Every structure is written in structure tokens, then in C-alpha cells.
Structure 1
Amino acid sequence: MTSYSGPARLILVDGACISGMASLATNQRGGINGWGGTFRPDEITTELRDAAEGLQLELPYERVGTVAVTGTRKLLATQLLMSLTGHGPAPF
């Protein structure tokens, strides 16, 4: 299993960038290769709350992967944790 934990930027469909922290890992179960994890944004916007498909997750050194939001949950009054599923090759 390969993993990444550190800074990332979520790029929304309209091109807006939201900085935050990502925790990602690959999974290899039953012959299915994939990747996913969580993203904790530094700021919460209406566009971010509505985000679902067609998103990009940019890691350091301009490594980018396509992701979809599969769920969100509040951590504290001002923090949000987003569950992500990756599409295509993992950027880490």
C-alpha cells in the first residue's frame, strides 16, 4: 500500500482552489486498484459544500489526480472532513 499525508489543494470545477490537508492511500482489494482518503480544507465555502464530481486534487510538485467527494462530516464548528475517491492513477 502506498500513502500520502500532507498539504494539498482541491481544485473545483470553476477553477477555484481550496488549500488544506490530505490523507490518501491506495487500496488493492480483490484485483481492484484504486485510491482515496480524506481532505480537510483550510476554509469552507458554499462552492466547496456543493462540490461532488469533476474535481482535481493537487499535491506538491504539481502532481494532480481526479477525485469525487463521497461524503462530508463536521469535525468542529469550523472544520469539515471530506471523503474522497480517486479516479485514474494515484498522484503519489
Structure 2
Amino acid sequence: MTTTYSGPARLILVDGACISGMASLSTNQRGGLSGWGGTFRPDEVTTDLRNAVDGLQLELPYDQVGTVAVTGMRKLLATQVLVSLAGRGPAPF
């Protein structure tokens, strides 16, 4: 089973809007706790994305989808942000 994924992804907001970008994800299995998470760098930054927190879906190629929550957001450059994600349920990779 793959424990990391890095590549194209789409973040699907609660209202159904899709934001394309690049994801870097991994599973973390420490001390009996399993989960997954990582970062998402959107191609465009929208107000809806800035306000997004929970109930989001992350879609990877080949229709693999996982539920995520935004745990943080930081500016990379003047026009780019890096969104920190925490996965819920099984990892889609």
C-alpha cells in the first residue's frame, strides 16, 4: 500500500466548487494511530478557499476521493498559498 502521494489533485469545496492544484500527502502510523494528511497548493486562491475549513473532499487522479479538513493556510509568495490538510477516514492513495 502506498504511504505517500505527490501530484495533481482537486479540492472540492462544500458548495461543489473545484479548485485544481498540487497535493503532497502521506500516511502517519505512529503508536497505533493511523491517519493521513499533507499540503495542497492551489492553482488559484479564492475567497471561498480562504474561508474553507471542514467538509471538503480531495480528489486525486483515477477518481480516488478522501475527506479532508483545512488545519492551516500560509502564504508562499504574493499570489500563492499552501493549505495544510488533515484527512478523515481511509487515505485515497
TM-score (norm 1): 0.99
State the aligned residue count.
92
SS of aligned partner of 2:49: helix
Could you tell me how far 1:30 is from its partner in structure 2?
1.1
SS of aligned partner of 2:76: strand
TM-score (norm 2): 0.98
**Cα shift readout 1:24-71 (whole Å, capped 9, x = no counterpart):** 000001100000000000000000000000000000000000000000
- Aligned partner of 1:78 in structure 2 is 79
CA distance in 2, matches of 1:23, 1:61: 16
- Aligned partner of 1:35 in structure 2 is 36
1:88 aligned partner, one-letter code:
G
Q: Which runs of 5+ in 2 are unaligned?
A: none
- Aligned partner of 2:26 in structure 1 is 25
- Aligned partner of 1:10 in structure 2 is 11
CA distance in 1, matches of 2:3, 2:91: 9
1:37 aligned partner, one-letter code:
G
Identity of aligned residues (%): 82
Q: Which runs of 5+ in 1 are unaligned?
A: none
CA RMSD of aligned residues (A): 0.8
SS of aligned partner of 2:62: helix
